[in-house]
Amino acid sequence: MSRPKLIVGNWKMFTTRQSAVELAKAVAAGLKPGSTTRVGVAVPGPWITSVVEAVAGTPVEVGGQNCHFEKEGAFTGETSAGMLKDAGCSFVVIGHSERRHGFGEGDELLNKKLKAALAVDLPVIFCVGELLAEREATQTEAVLDRQLTHGLAGLTAEQLARVVIAYEPVWAIGTGKVATTEQAQAAHAFIRGKVAAIFGENAAAKLLIQYGGSVKADNAAALLHQPDIDGALVGGASLKADSFLAIVHADG
Ligand code: 13P
């Protein structure tokens, strides 16, 4: 089955309001008309509305990088999925390794966040991936199995249609050490197989699975040509329009 490619820049806690708006506009201006590749940017919370305005009328999708699992309440410093949607987001990233490992977010919490986003019809990029020690201990598949089983628990196949999975091996994030195409393809095939076991072959065939971890212009094409790699979640290289657009256009 042919799936559209989805390239998303994760700006993490970088940019100023001005540089964010300029970057978003430059990305929008650099897209090739008529391309089937979808393009998004996950931006710092305070810049969401400015970036949404900057790319209004262009195909660039704007997303949040995290959300709380409650609709509202006394949760100082948090942002709900509904607020992201209200601000103009068309997706939210949940379960990034920096949230899992830097902020101690576990599978059950992430499952609640995912359900909260889907409850307000906000599509999700749900991140999974193993640590270096886990890969070296040949635990990669066990870790992915656990993250998917618990993370996607209780979702219907209909809800899964609004979820993209991002496979980001933690050892490849921000390290310049990209997974080989074989390593990435094997993990993606495992993820698709696991999703097929839970939600059925049809849902799995439609699922977009992005690769993330040191994606750059010079390695993107080889990754994107793998049969189960449907896009990229890009950190460092998404902070400059030229390097991000080179990845967006890597697939032709
Ligand atoms: P880098 O592309 O900087 O390795 O970051 C990947 C990432 O964390 C995207 O979410």
Task: Tell how many helices (H) and how many strands (E) occur in the chain.
Answer: 12, 8
Q: With CA atoms as reference, report the closest residue to 92 among 69, 74, 75, 76.
A: 69
Per-residue pLDDT band for 2 (boundaries 50, 70, 90) equals confident
CB 138 within 8 A of CB 158: no
The residue type found at 155 is: L
68 catalytic residue (yes or no): no
Which is the catalytic residue, given 61, 130, 134, 168? 168
- Ligand 1 center to 73 CA (angstroms): 31
Question: Which CATH number is associated with domain 6-248?
Answer: 3.20.20.70
Per-residue pLDDT band for 251 (boundaries 50, 70, 90) equals confident
Separation of alpha carbons 113 and 124, rounded Å: 10
Per-residue pLDDT band for 183 (boundaries 50, 70, 90) equals very high
Segment 145-152 shows an average pLDDT of 98
- Ligand 1 center to 96 CA (angstroms): 9
Return the residue matching tokens 């409650």.
70
Q: Is the pTM of this model over 0.95?
A: yes
CB 228 within 8 A of CB 182: no
**Domain spans, the chain:** 6-248
pLDDT in tens, 192-248: 999 999 999 999 999 999 999 999 999 999 999 999 999 999 999 999 999 999 999
What percentage of the chain exceeds 90 in pLDDT? 97
- Give ligand 1 pocket residues (Cβ under 6 A): 10, 96, 168, 173-174, 212-215, 233-237
Q: What is the DSSP track for 84-103?
A: HHHTT-SEEEES-HHHHHHS
- Ligand 1 center to 167 CA (angstroms): 11
pLDDT value at 252 more than 90: no
pLDDT in tens, 31-54: 999 999 999 999 999 999 999 999
Res 1: pLDDT = 65
Mean pLDDT of the chain: 97
Find the DSSP H helices in the chain: 17-30, 48-54, 81-86, 97-102, 107-119, 132-136, 140-151, 157-160, 181-199, 201-206, 217-224, 241-248
pLDDT in tens, 10-34: 999 999 999 999 999 999 999 999 9
